[in-house]
Amino acid sequence: MLVASSTYTLLDTFVFEQHYGTVSSSVASTESSDDSAAANSTSTTTAVKTYTENSTTIYVADIYLGAGQTIQTALASNTYGKNVTDTTSNIASSVDATVAVNGDYYGARNNGYVIRNGELLRSTKAGDDQEDLVLWEDGTMSIITESNYTAQELLDKGALQVLSFGPGLVIDSNISVTANDEVGQAMTSNPRTAIGYIGDNHYVLVVADGRTSESEGLTLLELAEFMHGLSVQQAYNLDGGGSSTMYSDGKVVNNPTTNGSVITQRSVSDILYVK
Amino acid sequence: MSNSVKKPLYIYIAITITCGLFSFIYEHFSHNVYSNFIVYLFVIPLVLGVVPQLVALIYPKLAVGGSWQKTMHNFAIATLTAGAILQGIVEIYGTSTTFTRYYFEIGVALLALGIAMWIIRLRQAK
């Protein structure tokens, strides 16, 4: 009986898909589509650069959003649910993304706000100290604490995307983590994914490789310092480890380390992207 | 040394060592993501299994539990150990489940039942 119940628990936690509903994979642009001159002047531009710091290869997608454009999110199979997953590249190609990174893997947890493309999907708090990433409809980004807002309040204030992972790395241009702040109890170098807001529709999506002989990985503090060096006003840590993947122009540009050694993509719940 | 004490003592020592080895191996491959449920897994069979058997060895008059009491106690340890392993796996993966709480609730209930049965037997023996 114990073996059977334990097997069921593991299957329910890691395998059985639970679909709660389908969602939109994009936010409607506020730009006028019939004005070609305006459309040209408001197109989003992206460029991926590679850095090496702390014995780690770091990929930075430098993004200038066109007017009326926002960072968007997409869910695996356009479905909100538990254990509904796909690779970052598959989700990205399904929405014609130019650049994409993995999101917060909301499906691995039962709590924490989830708002995607202006749709409230989960309103249960992960905890009073939980810091969430908020991407607003005016193109700005901020980091809030769940104890200060309900998910509905964030939606009413104009939140297009709310991701619940964290912590915030840089808040109001100041590094907001210390050497003792880690996700769960991951106290050492790991692959990382982060998003940073520099200002005036200028964002960076960052992925650091890790767990390989070529690239050690970053601690949260090292990641925060790197983001701070990119002159971001706000920066937020997303799901890392084997999930950390960057997709650009039709291919995966980093070396995701599923199971710690094999270079292959892990299936995830969601992505952040631009197109 | 009585066989009724010696055999379960050896079994619980073996389970404690096995849990310790499991923790060591699991944590070794978990990329330095730790869960106290895995790290301290060995404490469950050690405190609830080895220690009571050692006490029974030193004070044989306390070894009065019947077969039902022993069964309850063994099930309690098995349930708590399984719950701790599952909770540790879930924490290290960074996910959550509502099921593991039932392991701890049932494990504690079985443990309390076993202790109650042991107290009754002890009083009857006196």
Give the integer Cα–Cα distance in Å for B18 and A147: 42
Q: How far is A146 from chain B (nearest CA, A)?
A: 19
Residues of B in contact with A8 (CB under 8 A): 99
Tens digit of each residue's pLDDT (9 = 90 or more) over A191-224:
999 999 999 999 999 999 998 888 999 999 999 9
ipTM given for this complex:
0.82
* Backbone phi, psi, residue A149, to 5°: -145, 150
| Rounded mean pLDDT, A253-261 | 78
**Cross-chain Cβ contact A184/B82 below 8 Å:** no
Whether the CB-CB separation of A89 and A247 falls below 8 Å is answered with yes
Nearest CA in chain A to B93: A108
pLDDT band at A36 (very low <50, low <70, confident <90, very high): very low
Query: Average pLDDT in the A90-118 region?
Result: 94
pLDDT of amino acid A38 = 39
Tell me whether residues A111 and B96 touch, CB distance under 8 A: yes
Quote the pTM value.
0.81
- Residue A143 pLDDT: 97
Nearest-by-Cβ selection for B31 from A2, A110, A260: A260
How many interchain CB pairs under 8 A, A with B? 59
**How far lies B43's CA from each of A33, A131, B36, B112, in Å?**
65, 34, 11, 18
- Compute the half-sphere exposure of residue B118: CA atoms within 13 Å on the CB side of its CA: 18
Determine, for residues A188 and B32 on separate chains, whether the beta-carbon distance falls below 8 Å: yes
Decide if B99 and A109 are in contact by the 8 Å CB cutoff: no
pLDDT tens per residue across span A226-236 = 999 999 999 99
- Chain A residue nearest residue B39, CA to CA: A185
Chain centroid to CA A43: 22
3-state secondary structure at position A186:
coil
Does B94 contact A110 at a Cβ distance shorter than 8 Å? no
- How much of chain B exceeds pLDDT 90, in percent? 61
